[in-house]
Structure 1
Amino acid sequence: MNTTRLPDYEVAGDADTTLFLLHGAYGSRAYFRPLIATLVRAGYRVVAWDAPGYGLSPLPEGGLSIEGLAEAATRLIQREASRFNVVVGHSMGGIVAPLASLHAKGLVQGLVISATVATFSRKSAQDKATFAEERIGPIRRGLPFKEAALPVIRGMLAPTSSGPLVDLVVDVASGMRAETFCAAIEAIVGYDGEDNLKAVSVPTLLIAGALDKVGRPEGMQSLTGLIPDARFVCIEGAAHYAFAEQPEAFNAALLGFLSELSAKHV
Structure 2
Amino acid sequence: DAGPGALPEGLQLARHAMGRVPPATYRRALEALTAFARRAPELVRLQVPALLIGGEYDRCTPPEALLALAHVLPDARAVLLPGVGHWPQLEDPEGFEAALLDFLAGPAPVLH
**TM class, shorter-chain normalised?**
0.7 to 0.9
Q: TM-score, normalised by structure 1?
A: 0.38
Mapped to 2, the partners of 1:202 and 1:157 lie a distance apart of: 30
> What are the superposed Cα offsets for residues 208-246 of structure 1, whole Å, 9 maximum, x if unpaired?
101111111111111232111112211001110011111
Q: Which residue of 1 aligns with 2:52?
A: 206
**Structure 2 counterpart of 1:250, from 80, 96, 102:** 96
Q: Which residue of 2 aligns with 1:170?
A: 15
Taking the TM superposition and a 5 Å limit, the aligned residue runs for 1:3-82 are: none
Q: Is the 8 A contact 2:88 2:96 kept in 1?
A: yes
Q: Which residue of 1 aligns with 2:61?
A: 215
Mapped to 2, the partners of 1:178 and 1:159 lie a distance apart of: 28
Deviation of the 1:162 alpha carbon: 3.4
Identity %: 31
Higher relative contact order (CA 8 A, sep 6+): 2
Higher helix share: 2
Q: Is the 8 A contact 2:3 2:56 kept in 1?
A: no
Structure 2 stretches of 5 or more lacking a match?
none
Deviation of the 1:158 alpha carbon: 1.2
Q: Which residue of 2 aligns with 1:48?
A: none
Q: Is the 8 A contact 2:52 2:66 kept in 1?
A: yes
Instruction: Call closer, same or farther: CA 1:226–1:160 in 2, change over 3 Å.
Output: closer
* RMSD (Å) for aligned C-alpha atoms: 2.0
Deviation of the 1:264 alpha carbon: 7.4
Structure 1 stretches of 5 or more lacking a match?
1-155
Q: TM-score, normalised by structure 2?
A: 0.85
Mapped to 2, the partners of 1:176 and 1:222 lie a distance apart of: 29
**Structure 1 counterpart of 2:28, from 183, 190, 197:** 183
Deviation of the 1:262 alpha carbon: 4.6
